[in-house]
């Protein structure tokens, strides 16, 4: 388990751990592994660190979790010294932060950029993974950690004739590194999720005309972004121990904020409206914290949805456009709620038009137009804000073969199956960070990333101490966990939406609610208990080369 155990010739190609991806998860994983004396190599397909923030450079891209909370907590010096400039950090600043972290902790020397992991095959006899990378080489590792990100596989929509379009086509999730200038152009924007809603106001300011093609109207809350003063930052910094504890242990979604103590129907209409007004004015994701049953009770949810629909009517001057922008297809919050700056007011601009492609879908994209209901909308450039093959898409692109050559894609054909979102039975020593079956995308990602990385780091340390060679999700434990994840989701309103949480944005994908909605605090306690009980539900096997140490992991089931 240490580089010293490999011969010098092998050392360059043999690692304790291969980490796939150098976003926030991969960087922290590398930092922890090195600190514990494990040899590790990170492969990153991009030309730099930062993951999501490396690729998503579209106009208006910024994080919808406040910057003082969307940041690593593992280094006290880092969180005290880094100065965030705004309440919600723009993409460029988050990327700068990621680069700062890479430099500060000297991470780059163990990261190979511009390199895709193509294939990972588990050798059952040698108890190692053979990992083939895009430069054609194959390296060996005892463990593989997939830090591939949940929203990293940008999805080009299957729209008739798209390939015939003569102008540039941009995807928000794979934006060029050079500035894109829309001045004087007619731009077509397809997609009105978080990315479309953030980019529309900025593109509208620049372009001659912006046509937004909307399939599903979305709920969006104003961000109320503002510069952070030194005083704002200090208030957080002084309170960081409590802020971080609360985010990890109490808040369901890993964000420090006042928690609701009552349901929406417990208040009078006036009181409720007053609370929604206050939260609308404050802005941001915490709008959904007005009451504790907005995700559970449809009547309660309707009160919040009606409030937002009313706001859209107040903001948007043209009644027909306002009506079209009002979401009616899903309860508020069951698709990821959007946070915007001037989205709805953008439709009052004379150079912006909205086209409904729900009742009449796009018929065809031609060389210079998007045709809807027989009408050609002329555009010089197209922006696809059409989302991602979420949670499983980037994992599925790697040819992963576990026991008996069984591929992860075969195993997950009817939906991802994991134990705790961390491992999948039949694929020993393969960890997933923020994988399906964990709170992941329902939470402040950095809180969930740090929890997973710390859990994995502790697990590997424990295995090293006990001379164990493999860990694998037990089949029974996995079945029970998958059932639990489903059961918790079914008790909420979330499955009522055709969301990417459900895989509903990818035609061939099974409809399963992928993340665990039990809350980050509950989930953390479950993971900690599992570890405290000797990794209950996991199967651990001894390292044959290390006789005299512990054998099969205590409290574990035997392999099937």
CB count within 10 Å of CB 115 equals 18
Name which position in 211, 386, 424, 448 contacts ligand N01 (CB under 6 A). Answer: 386
Minimum CB distance to ligand N01, residue 444 (Å) = 11
Minimum CB distance to ligand N01, residue 543 (Å) = 40
Name which position in 276, 344, 500, 516 contacts ligand N01 (CB under 6 A). Answer: 500
Task: Name the token pair of 62.
Answer: 């910024």
Residue 192 binds ligand N01 (CB under 6 A): yes
Nearer residue to ligand N01 within complex by CB, 39 or 386 = 386
Contact by Cβ (8 Å): 456, 139: no
- DSSP label of 515: S
Listed in sequence order, the residues at least 6 apart from 1 whose beta carbon sits closer than 8 Å to its beta carbon are 16, 38, 142, 460, 463, 464, 543
Name which position in 324, 357, 539, 542 contacts ligand N01 (CB under 6 A). Answer: 357
Minimum CB distance to ligand N01, residue 348 (Å) = 21
Minimum CB distance to ligand N01, residue 166 (Å) = 20
Interface region with ligand N01, contact rule CB under 6 A, candidates 17-25, 98-106, 176-184, 385-393? 385-393
Nearer residue to ligand N01 within complex by CB, 393 or 428 = 393
Minimum CB distance to ligand N01, residue 305 (Å) = 16
Minimum CB distance to ligand N01, residue 394 (Å) = 13
Nearer residue to ligand N01 within complex by CB, 102 or 357 = 357
Minimum CB distance to ligand N01, residue 193 (Å) = 2
Interface region with ligand N01, contact rule CB under 6 A, candidates 186-194, 283-291, 469-477, 540-548? 186-194
Interface region with ligand N01, contact rule CB under 6 A, candidates 369-377, 384-392, 399-407, 530-538? 384-392
Contact by Cβ (8 Å): 118, 51: no
Residue 327 binds ligand N01 (CB under 6 A): no
Q: How many CA atoms lie within 13 A of 267 on its CB side?
A: 20
Name which position in 194, 321, 424, 438 contacts ligand N01 (CB under 6 A). Answer: 194
Measuring CA to CA, which residue among 311, 324, 325, 285 is closest to residue 197? Answer: 325
Residue 97 binds ligand N01 (CB under 6 A): no
User: Pattern of binders to ligand N01 over 409-448, x per CB under 6 A?
Assistant: --------------------------------x-------
Residue 339 binds ligand N01 (CB under 6 A): yes
Contact by Cβ (8 Å): 386, 155: yes
User: Pattern of binders to ligand N01 over 116-155, x per CB under 6 A?
Assistant: -----------------------------------x----
User: Pattern of binders to ligand N01 over 44-73, x per CB under 6 A?
Assistant: -------------------xx---------
User: Pattern of binders to ligand N01 over 75-94, x per CB under 6 A?
Assistant: --------------------
| Positive or negative: CA dihedral 407, 408, 414, 419 | positive
Measuring CA to CA, which residue among 179, 172, 169, 171 is closest to residue 195? Answer: 172
Angle between helices 24-35 and 91-104 (to 10 degrees): 10
| CA atoms of 235 and 499, how far apart (whole Å) | 37
Minimum CB distance to ligand N01, residue 176 (Å) = 16
Residue 111 binds ligand N01 (CB under 6 A): no
Contact by Cβ (8 Å): 152, 116: no
Name which position in 59, 193, 393, 416 contacts ligand N01 (CB under 6 A). Answer: 193
Residue 195 binds ligand N01 (CB under 6 A): yes
Contact by Cβ (8 Å): 420, 527: yes
Name which position in 102, 146, 159, 463 contacts ligand N01 (CB under 6 A). Answer: 159
Residue listed under structure tokens 């960087």: 27
Interface region with ligand N01, contact rule CB under 6 A, candidates 17-25, 193-201, 258-266, 408-416? 193-201
Task: Name the token pair of 277.
Answer: 């007004």
Contact by Cβ (8 Å): 106, 113: no
| CA atoms of 289 and 276, how far apart (whole Å) | 10
Listed in sequence order, the residues at least 6 apart from 543 whose beta carbon sits closer than 8 Å to its beta carbon are 1, 127, 467, 468, 469, 549
Residue listed under structure tokens 């065809």: 364
End-to-end CA distance of the chain: 25
Question: Could you write out the DSSP letters of every residue in 306-354?
Answer: HHHHHHHHHH-SSHHHHHHHS--SS-TTSSPPEEESSHHHHTTSTTEEE
Nearer residue to ligand N01 within complex by CB, 142 or 321 = 321
Positions in 211-240 near ligand N01 (CB under 6 A): 215-216
Interface region with ligand N01, contact rule CB under 6 A, candidates 192-200, 274-282, 341-349, 454-462? 192-200
User: Pattern of binders to ligand N01 over 166-185, x per CB under 6 A?
Assistant: ------xx------------
| CA atoms of 99 and 82, how far apart (whole Å) | 12
Please name every residue paired with 128 in a beta bridge, in sequence order, or none if there are none: 123
State the residues that interact with ligand N01 by CB under 6 A. Answer: 63-64, 151, 157, 159, 172-173, 190-196, 198, 215-216, 336, 339, 357, 385-388, 441, 500, 505
């Amino acid at each position: 388990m240490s580089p010293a155990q490999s011969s010098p010739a092998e050392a360059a190609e043999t690692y304790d751990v291969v980490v796939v991806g150098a976003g926030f998860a991969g960087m922290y994983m590398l930092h922890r592994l090195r600190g514990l004396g494990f040899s590790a190599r990170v492969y990153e397909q991009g030309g730099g660190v930062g993951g999501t923030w490396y690729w998503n450079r579209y106009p208006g891209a910024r994080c919808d979790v406040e910057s003082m909370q969307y940041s690593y907590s593992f280094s006290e010096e880092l969180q005290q010294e880094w100065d965030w400039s705004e309440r919600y950090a723009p993409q460029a600043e988050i990327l700068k932060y990621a680069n700062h972290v890479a430099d500060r902790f000297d991470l780059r020397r163990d990261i190979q950029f511009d390199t895709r992991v193509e294939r990972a095959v588990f050798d059952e006899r040698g108890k190692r993974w053979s990992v083939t990378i895009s430069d054609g080489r194959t390296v060996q590792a005892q463990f593989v950690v997939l830090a591939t990100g949940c929203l990293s596989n940008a999805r080009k929509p299957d729209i008739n004739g798209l390939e015939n379009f003569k102008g540039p086509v941009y995807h928000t999730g794979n934006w060029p590194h050079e500035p894109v200038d829309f001045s004087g152009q007619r731009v077509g924007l397809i997609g009105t999720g978080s990315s479309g809603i953030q980019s529309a106001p900025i593109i509208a300011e620049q372009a001659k005309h912006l046509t937004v093609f909307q399939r599903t109207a979305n709920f969006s809350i104003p961000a109320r972004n503002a510069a952070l003063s030194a005083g704002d930052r200090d208030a957080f910094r002084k309170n960081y121990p409590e802020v971080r504890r609360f985010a990890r242990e109490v808040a369901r979604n890993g964000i420090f904020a006042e928690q609701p103590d009552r349901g929406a129907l417990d208040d009078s209409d006036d009181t409720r409206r007053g609370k929604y007004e206050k939260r609308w004015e404050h802005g941001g994701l915490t709008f959904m914290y007005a009451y504790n049953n907005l995700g559970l009770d449809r009547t309660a949810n309707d009160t919040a949805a009606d409030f937002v629909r009313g706001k859209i009517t107040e903001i948007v001057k043209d009644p027909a456009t306002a009506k079209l922008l009002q979401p009616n297809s899903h309860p508020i919050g069951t698709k990821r709620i959007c946070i915007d700056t001037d989205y709805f007011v953008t439709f009052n601009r004379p150079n912006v038009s909205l086209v409904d492609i729900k009742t009449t879908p796009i018929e065809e994209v031609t060389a210079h137009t998007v045709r809807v209901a027989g009408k050609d909308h002329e555009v010089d450039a197209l922006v696809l804000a059409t989302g991602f093959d979420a949670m499983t898409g980037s994992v599925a692109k790697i040819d992963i073969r576990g026991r008996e050559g069984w591929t992860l894609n075969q195993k997950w054909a009817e939906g991802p199956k994991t134990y705790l979102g961390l491992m999948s039975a039949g694929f020993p020593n393969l960890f997933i960070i923020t994988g399906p079956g964990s709170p992941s995308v329902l939470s402040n990602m950095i809180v969930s990333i740090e929890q997973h990385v710390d859990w994995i780091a502790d697990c590997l340390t424990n295995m090293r101490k006990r001379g164990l060679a493999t860990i694998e999700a037990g089949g029974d434990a996995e079945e029970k966990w998958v059932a639990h994840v489903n059961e918790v989701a079914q008790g909420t309103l979330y499955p009522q939406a055709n969301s990417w949480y459900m895989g509903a944005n990818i035609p061939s994908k099974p409809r399963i609610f992928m993340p665990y909605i039990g809350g980050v605090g509950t989930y953390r306690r479950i993971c900690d208990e599992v570890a405290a009980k000797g990794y209950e539900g996991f199967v651990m096997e001894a390292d044959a080369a290390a006789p005299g140490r512990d054998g099969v992991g205590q409290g574990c089931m035997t392999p099937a």
